[in-house]
């Protein structure tokens, strides 16, 4: 792609930090790991942070550490990345899909209680596209029904909710640092929590079930190789030092897109602000108007790509994936099923240039206009 959908922002400082690790004698479980964890915990406002090799590993470690298992149910959105449901199934628990609200595209608190049963043990809240979910209402529901709350903040590093950073509000929060995120460690993730015992359990799980007090070949429980290398942590430390500037830049890009696309017939734009919240811009996702079909959205994606412009279909609902078609829905998911086929992610990364944004917008407007003209001709 001439204009990719996403691109990591790696500079000389990051390269130097990784090179220093390569010249050291310790590539795993060393001082950069502890430093990275401390930096993330301080930034989020959490007491503890445990770095792992992916956001997915972090979600799985949380479900395991909280004792979620076979026979339990976990409420999740369907409008999100599949890892959320996968982490539940890894422990043979059942993901129960609940609909989203139509503005922020996060779990709808008004739909959660009707999905709760005697088997429900937790709620996984996704801060979709970096926009905070309504944590006040969701936490109140969780307390009422004695449920755990796991925040999937993999798309939302730096997002704020009523004066606090997301990820540190529930029983545990998970961040992901894949190359398309606000900052990257290449591959990697971090679990944050205020609970010391939970953090210790997750720390053991990431290293084959070995606690800090055990010898190297002594293992207290079944665990996993979810370790993250010193290389990844060095990259993350350096990236995190720039987080404020990165978030400001991404906010500015979102505003430019909004200015250029406002008033375009057939497009519904994301809100660039939310009451009592700060959006941490992960992607810029527009929606086609309700009269557009999924096939027309997909046509636009193909045409943009043919012009060298990256585009993405965010998200394909999990409950429509072949591997999840038999899983539970307590109620229909009309908002998810209406919005998902019309969502379109545009190129969005720190170093995108204004002329590239202009080309994206002009191409998108042209394609949307063509579809509208053809539709009028048919009528």
Active site amino acids: 181
Rounded to 5°, angle at Cα 159 from 175 and 320: 60
Closest CA to 166 of 226, 121, 228, 104: 104
Q: Residues with Cβ < 8 Å from 33, sequence gap 6 or more? A: 51, 228, 230, 233
Contact 108, 101 (CB under 8 A): yes
Which residues of the chain form beta strands (DSSP E)?
A: 48-52, 73-77, 94-98, 120-126, 148-152, 160-161, 164-165, 172-176, 189-193, 267-268, 277-278, 284-288, 343-346
Here the tokens at position 208 are 């084959």
Rounded CA gap, 167 and 218, in Å? 32
Closest CA to 40 of 282, 265, 237: 237
Left (φ > 0), alpha (ψ -120 to 50) or beta: where does 73 sit?
beta
Phi and psi torsions of 324, nearest 5°: -120, 10
Here the tokens at position 314 are 């965010």
Rounded CA gap, 329 and 213, in Å? 43
């Amino acid at each position: 792609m001439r204009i990719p959908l996403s691109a990591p922002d790696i500079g000389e400082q990051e390269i130097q930090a990784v090179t220093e690790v390569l010249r050291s004698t310790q590539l795993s479980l060393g001082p950069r790991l502890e430093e990275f964890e401390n930096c993330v915990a301080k930034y989020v406002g959490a007491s503890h942070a445990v770095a792992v090799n992916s956001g997915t590993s972090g979600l799985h470690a949380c479900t395991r550490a909280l004792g979620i298992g076979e026979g339990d149910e976990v409420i999740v959105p369907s409008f999100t990345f599949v890892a959320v449901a996968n982490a539940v199934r890894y422990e043979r628990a059942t993901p129960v899909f609940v609909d989203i609200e139509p503005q922020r595209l996060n779990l709808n608190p008004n739909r959660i209680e009707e999905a709760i049963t005697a088997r429900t043990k937790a709620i996984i809240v996704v801060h979709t596209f970096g926009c905070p979910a309504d944590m006040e209402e969701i936490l109140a529901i969780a307390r009422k029904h004695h449920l755990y709350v796991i925040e999937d903040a993999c798309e939302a590093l730096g997002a704020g909710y009523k004066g606090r950073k997301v990820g540190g509000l529930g029983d545990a929060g998970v961040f992901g640092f894949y190359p398309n995120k606000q900052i990257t460690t290449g591959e990697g993730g971090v679990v944050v929590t205020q609970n010391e015992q939970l953090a210790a359990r997750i720390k053991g799980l990431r290293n084959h079930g070995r606690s800090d007090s055990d010898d190297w070949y002594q293992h207290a429980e079944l665990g996993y190789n979810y370790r993250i290398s010193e290389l990844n942590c060095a990259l993350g430390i350096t990236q995190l030092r720039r987080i404020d500037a990165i978030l400001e830049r991404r906010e500015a890009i979102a505003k430019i897109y909004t200015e250029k696309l406002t008033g375009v017939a057939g497009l519904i734009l994301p809100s660039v602000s939310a009451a009592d919240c700060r959006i941490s811009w992960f992607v810029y996702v527009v929606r086609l108007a309700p009269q557009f079909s999924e096939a027309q959205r997909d046509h636009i994606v193909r045409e943009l790509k043919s012009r060298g412009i990256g585009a993405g279909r965010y998200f394909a609902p999990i409950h429509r994936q072949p591997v999840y078609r038999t899983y539970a829905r307590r109620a229909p998911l009309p908002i998810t099923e209406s919005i998902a086929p019309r969502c379109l992610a545009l190129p969005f990364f720190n170093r995108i240039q204004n002329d590239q944004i202009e080309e994206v917008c002009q191409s998108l407007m042209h394609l949307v206009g063509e579809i509208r003209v053809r539709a009028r001709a048919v009528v």
